[in-house]
Amino acid sequence: MRLLHLICTTSSESGGPIEVISRTSEVLLRKNFEITIASLESSEEISDRGFPCAHIALGRGFGKYRYDPGFTRWIKQNASRFDAAIIHGIWNYASFGAWRALRRLDIPYFVFIHGMMDPWFRQANPLKHFAKQIYWFLIEGRVLRDARRILFTCEEEMLRARAVFQGHVYEEQVIHIGTAAPSRDVSAQRATFHSTFPFLKNKRFSLFLGRIHPKKGCDMLLRAFAECLEDLPEDKDLVFAGPDQIGWKEELERLSTELDISERVHWTGMLSGDLKWGALHLADSLILPSHQENFGFVVAEAMACGTPVLVSDKINIWHEIVESESGFVEADSLEGTIRLLRRFEALSPESRAQMSRKAKIGFGRFFDIESTALDFARAIQALVTEGRPTGSAQCRIS
């Protein structure tokens, strides 16, 4: 089968969409799939990214929206080479430009939403949501309306997306995704992390791994850590690992000073490769109190390492964490984050070890890419074969 992935940017800092493409492609290429990525980027931007499949940079386009008619022309000229196209994300020209090219062609296309219709955004910025509703009615809703299916990574994401925007209906389907467990030597990964951050060598620490962004609840986590300080051992610290895309870190550092916890809070910047895996293996827990998180790849990666996960109930895979007993789940509030820290710290060493074992089992059951990638491929093949559904007046679950 020949798949064309269409996406605005393949930067790792953009979050989950490119992770889905990369991890899934690694498995499907071994199954003789032909996979191509086309993105709204310059060749210089992608020169060092090293994807496992073909990657075509079609130009960055104009502005934040990345408008580029050449993107549409290329898809029209090359669509017949593929069996299906998958658009990743909305609210940029990659989705609208792809729709302009594909809506009158025989090739079916799918849209992976990747959490971009979550109601949290409406609550966080009502004015921006109002502008999006207008854009949805005029443009984006048509992209979804004409797709073979709109894809969600879990049922929670699909349910939360319903009724967020008005004016167009579309066909829904949940297709679970996963990620890969670390394949290299764990001891070497730990040593790499300790050699880079030697001040953490004799410390226990909870790890926040993700973008430094208000959506992630970073300020709330600092306040919760300060509130729990008397309950924590003297060697227990907090590590923030991730890119600071909006320049918020300086304000958070001032907050940690005001809370008198700056000596126990560490900022590593973005981690990748062995550094990231070393951090996940060494952390006694991953903590992510996000206000909105579509999937949470780092949560699945932590589970693969046997690291217990402490998350908010706004991370859409929280049901799987509860079911597998891989960690704790609480509300995305200061009180909820405090409970996460205190519940974990109250565990005995034996209970933590048991939770670690269950995290690995839970990863294998729900998130192992070797099985989820094949499920993804089978679902796309079935939908391509079945043909375009007709006559539906409502969103439906397939």
Range 186-367 classified under CATH 3.40.50.2000: yes
- Name the DSSP letter for residue 149: E
Same fold, 2-178+370-386 and 186-367: yes
Q: For the domain bounded by 2-178+370-386, which CATH number is listed?
A: 3.40.50.2000
Tell whether the model's pLDDT for residue 64 goes beyond 90. Answer: no
Residue 143 burial by CB count (10 A; 0-12/13-18/19+): exposed, middle or buried? buried
Q: What is the mean pLDDT of residues 385-395?
A: 52
Q: Which residue do the tokens 């990525």 mark?
A: 37
Question: Which pLDDT belongs to residue 387?
Answer: 64
Tell whether the model's pLDDT for residue 398 goes beyond 50. Answer: no
Question: Which pLDDT belongs to residue 47?
Answer: 72
Question: Which pLDDT belongs to residue 297?
Answer: 87
Give the start-to-end residue ranges of the domains of the chain: 2-178+370-386, 186-367
Note the pLDDT tens digit of each residue in 125-153: 999 999 999 999 999 999 999 999 999 98
Q: Which residue do the tokens 């700056």 mark?
A: 262
* 233, amino acid identity: P
- Report CA-CA distances (Å) from 240 to 48, 132, 150, 229, 309: 26, 32, 34, 17, 15
Tell whether the model's pLDDT for residue 390 goes beyond 70. Answer: no
Note the pLDDT tens digit of each residue in 323-338: 999 999 999 999 999 9
Tell whether the model's pLDDT for residue 396 goes beyond 50. Answer: no
